[in-house]
Structure 1
Amino acid sequence: MIEMKIAGIALDAVSRSPIVILKDDAERRALPIYIAHEQARAIINALENHVPPRPLTHDLLVNLLEAWDITLERVVIHSLQDNTFFAVLTVRQGDVKKDIDARPSDAMAIALRTGSPIWVSEEVILDASLPVDQEADEAEQQAFRDFVANLRPEDFKQYDRSSHRDS
């Protein structure tokens, strides 16, 4: 799992559909997720710390969590199937912990309001993320290729299994 942050909302140049952009801490990978206009507005409101005069849907859900002493531990975007992302809210109330199915856009809107982390599975990152820093990725790949090319058999020490037993 890789923790990611919401970098912002963009608009698709052709369809004008909103896209939430997630980035990892090193800002090396970006994960674009198309969302509906309503969820885009909810995410933008949270990013801008806008408090509506009356609670909107995501605010209402956060109020319910707080009223029932339920903590949103994290959001996990765990899979991508047929161009649709899937997420869960991991919530805790006392000793009881549950994963609740959610659309990623709703999950992110709630996570922003509660200050909860957003995690993405490595599989989703591999399938759908875009490199942000192509030069750093290429440099890292070249360094690994150089390392492997310079390995010698004597760099590997013989492992003596008889001296390492499970007790």
Structure 2
Amino acid sequence: MVPVDVLGVRQQRRDQEIVVLLHDGASDLVVPIVIGPREASAIAMAQAGLPTPRPMTHDLLRDVLEAVHVRLERAEIVALDGGVFFAELVLSNGARLDSRASDAIALAVRTTSPVLCSAEVVATAGVEVVDVAQEEEVERFRDFLDHVTPDDFTADD
């Protein structure tokens, strides 16, 4: 298992899917997990520290854990099977609970608990982080190389 940062929730332009992005800093890969709009809202609101007028489901679960003096030790993304991500909640009393990945992440964000991801899942589903500015700079350099002439390097006296 490797620790990942929850970068946030994004909507994909091409197909309007909503994804939560998990970043593995060691490999610099991002794991996008498709989630529903309610889970996206729950994660985004918790990350932004926005209060809700009434407790959402993830707030209720956090409050129940507090009431019974149990902590969420960590959320683990344990497997990817047929395009479905599987997660487990690891509790301070030793219990491990099966969970949807989006729910595990939403609860972890609310409890400031770490999120870990199977190295195999990162290797399978992870995509490289693209630095747009760096990519544009490389493209300008390629364009320069395509059009450069020896005269570009002579000194005008």
Question: Are the aligned partners of 2:24 and 2:30 in contact in 1 as well (CA < 8 Å)?
Answer: yes
CA distance in 1, matches of 2:55, 2:25: 31
The yes-or-no answer on 1:92 pairing with 2:92 is yes
Q: Is 1:37 matched with 2:37?
A: yes
Q: Which residue type is aligned with residue 36 of structure 2? A: A
Report % sequence identity. 37
Letter in 2 for 1:89: L
1:82 and 2:82 correspond: yes
Aligned to 2:6, the other structure's residue is in SS state: strand
1:3-18 alignment to 2 at 5 Å? Answer: 3-18=3-18
The answer for unaligned runs of 5 or more in structure 1 is: 136-167
- Which string of whole-angstrom CA distances, capped at 9 and with x for unpartnered residues, describes residues 109-165 of structure 1? 000010100000111011100122699xxxxxxxxxxxxxxxxxxxxxxxxxxxxxx
Q: Where do 5+ consecutive residues of structure 2 fail to align?
A: 135-157
Q: TM-score, normalised by structure 2?
A: 0.80
- Once residues 16 and 127 of structure 2 are traced to their aligned partners in structure 1, the CA distance between those partners, rounded to angstroms, is 20
Contact 2:24 2:122 in 1 (8 A): no
User: SS where residue 13 of structure 1 aligns?
Assistant: coil
Residue 56 of structure 2 corresponds to which residue in structure 1?
56
Aligned-CA RMSD value: 1.7
Q: Contact 2:70–2:91 (CA<8 Å) still a contact in 1? A: yes
> Helix, strand or coil: the match of 1:124?
helix
Partner letter of residue 34 of structure 1? V
What SS is found at the alignment partner of 1:111? Answer: helix
Alignment of 1:61-140 (within 5 A): 61-93=61-93, 97-132=94-129
The TM-score normalised by the length of structure 1 is 0.75
